[in-house]
Amino acid sequence: MRNNSFDLIRHLAALMVLVSHHFVLSGMSEPGITGYNSLGGIAVICFFAISGLLITLSYLNAASFQDYLAKRVARIFPALIACSFLMTYVAGAFFASDYVLGKEALVDFLRISAFGRASIDEVTSDFIFSESFNGSLWTLKIEFVFYILLAVVLTLYRSALMPLALLLLFGLATFVLSNYITGALAQKFLAYCAAGIAFFSGSLIAFHRHHFKSPRTKAIVLAASILLIVVSLGTSSVWVTATLGVSLATISLGLLYVDKTIRGRFDISYGIYLYAFPVQQLVIHKTPLAFLPSIVVTTFIVIGLATLSWLFIEQPALKFVHRKKARKSVPGWVAP
């Protein structure tokens, strides 16, 4: 599955999240599909669907569980730790008095680096969205849990039945949470379970990827997915069926159209995801810029930070893991 446009879709989805969050961080209603999900939420579904497909293929091709886990850790943690450092010790030094000199900064840095609550009250206390300096990081811990869950179930039984069972389980949980349980906690778990639908639908397709070789099949799946989204709107099953539709549409479109511009050259989508929220918080609340100019300025800053993250942190970390694997695979190689 090398000929695809998944890199392009991930970059577009990251920018969709940025735009969507800019509304809510500015005190406005977040755009989206009424009765279903926000623009940013839909973009997250796209991310998880692609991740489920590619991470499953990564597991199936990995030499061992340790090899698989090393790649996942290298992809997530180095850039996350760098972002956490900038949030606490750089932004904290500029926008909070005496914050970096106390133990609170160290605690926040360690907590955020380990998927903890990305809250720095000293910086965000007077923000519209004061609960978090980087509210988008909640998806990372869920995604990492899915990485581990996938590896565990496939280690127990290496079959498409495992992602299918998890897909059905998350679908059932999503239906119950969206129809019968109310409250903030229920809404949080609803988002988690919808992400599970996306991830494990992508994982299931990884096992049946041979069915997606024909452009005609991809086009049919894409059309059927769009129809599924449309007919599910306003129904009690919208969170299940529309999420499934978005997931299938994302993957079929990614396989149908082959991007030759950025595919395999770079991937700053993760960096955009990491830095968008905190940069938006600061630009919106620490500058006099109006809504549209603040989006433009934020986008330029975030793309710059994401590019630096890719060049100096993410790409070197991934190359290190791949070099280490290559050395271990060479018979008779002895470490100097």
pLDDT at 169: 98
pLDDT at 71: 95
In a domain, 31, yes or no: yes
In a domain, 141, yes or no: yes
pLDDT at 276: 98
In a domain, 333, yes or no: no
Domain, as residue range, for 246:
6-327
pLDDT at 264: 80
In a domain, 1, yes or no: no
Q: Give the count of domains, the chain.
A: 1
User: Mind listing the pLDDT tens digit of every residue in the chain (336 residues)?
Assistant: 678 999 999 999 999 999 999 999 999 999 999 999 999 999 999 999 999 999 999 999 999 999 999 999 999 999 999 999 999 999 999 999 889 999 999 999 999 999 998 999 999 999 999 999 999 999 999 999 999 999 999 999 999 999 999 999 999 999 999 999 999 999 999 999 999 999 999 999 999 999 998 999 999 999 999 999 999 999 999 999 999 999 999 999 999 999 988 988 899 999 999 999 999 999 999 999 999 999 999 999 999 999 999 999 999 999 999 886 665 543 333 323
In a domain, 332, yes or no: no
In a domain, 336, yes or no: no
Residue carrying the six token digits 């869950």: 149
In a domain, 301, yes or no: yes
In a domain, 247, yes or no: yes
